[in-house]
Structure 1
Amino acid sequence: MNALPLPSAITPPGNGHVPVMLAEVLHYLTPANGEAILDCTFGGGSYSCAILNTAECNVWAIDRDPDAIARGQALCATLQQVEGRSRLHMLAGSFGHMAELARQADAPGFDGIVMDLGVSSFQIDEAERGFSFRFDGPLDMRMARQGRSAADIVNTAPEAELADIFHFYGEERHARRVARAVVAARAEAPLHTTLQLAEVIRSVVPQDRSGIDSATRSFQGLRIAVNDELGEIERGLEQALTLLNSGGRLVVVSFHSLEDRLVKRAMQRALGKDVSFSRHDPRASLAPAAPPAFVALTSKAIRPGDAECKANPRARSARLRAMMKRPAPTAPSPKGLQA
């Protein structure tokens, strides 16, 4: 795929956020004049700004982080001043409730929906948010700044629950060992900071040959549990399919195997590829009653190029999948009428 020129007229609010696979997202999303696009994860605003620069379209953007909503509202005000109206419309909430958020905002059906499932760079780079052990900060990890925090889970959850979180969400091979160490450490004193937890994990998990920090997988698992990220993805994907107009495109960028697996399965179901029968089952020979409502735009997950991965290491694990809602059939012209 040839790299596309990146728009720059409308710039994202704030600094430090590098969008992942932006050219590829725009390629498959193909925004056009007059269309309505839904950006399910506004974050730093890079995707929304690029879409607004690409076409004279309207963008509805969702985020559950109050800081992201504030950045978006500031951009809305700027657009109002520059263009006399705002083509950006912010929706505060989680994309797992996108259908209700769109209904409350009286938004139309969408011609394109993009979902970037990664954690915002703003969240990772702010020590007080507690997402990363690169900085010492409170053990928080809440994207919406409300609900049960990472510290609440670490200091109160039973050992078995902690082991499940580290194993199933973090894919940590030493999950039981980590859970035991956490329970033993909190018996001495509660764990309140990211570096406290990271040191406990590192004390029982050997260094990975790849160079990945020993605490990485457990931190991922804890973050997913705090924000119910996999549940949000499942709900969001299901609702996105119902919100697309005929010919609408869905583009999803995921960042680890758990996310990509959910995206792949949801798209396979929409493409009619989720049902398989034994060749001895008589249903295997039955032709489908109708073609599936969606068609694939990517035959497999698209990976970022080497240049992007070198410039932005956070892009290395990214995967992009896209599909389109089948266009409505064109009604045949009545016989005898000429164009």
Structure 2
Amino acid sequence: MTLLSDITSLEAVAALAETLPAADAGAINVATERQNSLTKPMGALGRLEELAIFMAGWQETDRPSIKRAQAVVFAGNHGVCAQGVNPFPQEVTAQMVANFEHGGAAINQLCRANGADLSVIAIDLDTPTNDITQGAAMSEAETLDAMCRGAEAVDADASVLVLGEMGIGNSTIAAALAMAAFGGDAKDWVGRGTGSDDAGVNRKVDAITRACAANSDASGLALLSAVGGREQAAICGAVLQARALRIPVILDGFICTAATTPLFAADPRFLDHCVVGHVSREPGHARLLDALNKQPVLSLDMALGEGSGAAVALGILRSALECHNGMATFAEAGVSDG
């Protein structure tokens, strides 16, 4: 049974913000003291120190570790593709899912390199969501179903959860979610996605503008139903389940980060256990990170999706914990700290 098993409304999901666990202040304090006593100038490891302390707070120990890293890629299809926003046909979603399953995608190699167990979960690919330019993408029941599937994918034994997505047309969905949550013009959030030309970008801008107008009454978690998709809802469900289990989450790029904006809109505390693996080349991602008050771990000019940037960031997280746990303190090393 998952956190969402018995929940029948998005309003009830939003209410979970008051009951979910928070980072452990005691573990954070002890881990900070350890960082400040290691054989280095205070703060010299920069973000690596912050990541180690972040992990300590969620694992409730001053010596956090990664015994099992779980990576999950959720896949879905989108009705907004009827507006010509995608340079590739929707059949590519299923074809890429097969590629993931056969080990041939970038995410397979990056998970192997950085020590993560990968699974891919395709959600009703034969039934795309509704066209968001005409109204809501999904009913509340469909949204909750996808969220539950995301929650069910989380392994309770995981030390960290790496999240990614696949879905032709979902860069349009990401931009629509960002605009619906934080405003601005569609052109502020739109990029080329999987390779749209200028005409394709203009079609995306037009579709997102119409979608946000058609769903202007939606707010909070209802944004998922209004302009989201099944893989975005599954990502939100996985984030919530991980939170209930105190499992830190590494989000991928623009699309994966945008998937969580309805959670943030409902209550910013929902994303406290999440870090963003990298800032994508998609122009809306840096703007979105500012809105979410999130600092990416990496900036590598990536724009692939699949969880690829998050998987690379997992390696950085592992490095942070190796230093935190393996370095000697000044006292242990017999080194004067001044």
* Structure number with higher helix proportion: 2
* Structure number with higher strand proportion: 1
* Same fold? TM cut 0.5: no
Query: What range describes the TM-score normalised by the shorter chain of this pair?
Result: 0.3 to 0.5
Please identify the structure whose Cα radius of gyration is greater.
1
TM-score by length of 1: 0.32
